[in-house]
Amino acid sequence: MTTAPWGTTRMGPYPHPGPAPTLTPVIDPETQIAMFLDEHGRTVELGAHGTSTSGLTPTTTSPGDGAGPGGATDADSTESYDQDQSSG
């Protein structure tokens, strides 16, 4: 007889989230920034969103000066991540 994994015995259905609010995207004519309006025409604040960049920089090393054969090589990579958090 196979027993169910412990974690699956703790699972249950997600609760129903209910209806999502209807939002209408518009462009502010003065600032040219996207805004969202609710069903009553009020601006909805979505929190601070910014931009981010990330990159993976590979590095490789080779042995010696290239005059002779063989030797060990090594490969590595460095990840960088920068986030610019806007002030809302």
Question: How high is the mean pLDDT of the chain?
Answer: 76
**Rg of the chain, C-alpha, whole Å:** 27
Under the banding of pLDDT at 50, 70 and 90, the label for residue 11 is confident
Measured CA to CA, the distance from residue 44 to residue 38 in angstroms comes to: 6
Q: What does the pLDDT look like over 34-51, one tens digit per residue?
A: 899 999 999 988 776 666
> Among 50, 21, 53, 24, which residue's Cα sits nearest to residue 37?
24
User: Quick check: is 47 in a domain?
Assistant: yes
Domain count, the chain: 1
CA distances to 15, 57, 64 from 68, rounded to whole Å, are 67, 28, 7
User: Quick check: is 7 in a domain?
Assistant: no
User: Quick check: is 31 in a domain?
Assistant: yes
User: Quick check: is 11 in a domain?
Assistant: no
Provide long-range contacts, Cβ within 8 A and 24+ apart, for 65-70.
Answer: none
Structural domain span for residue 29: 20-62+74-88
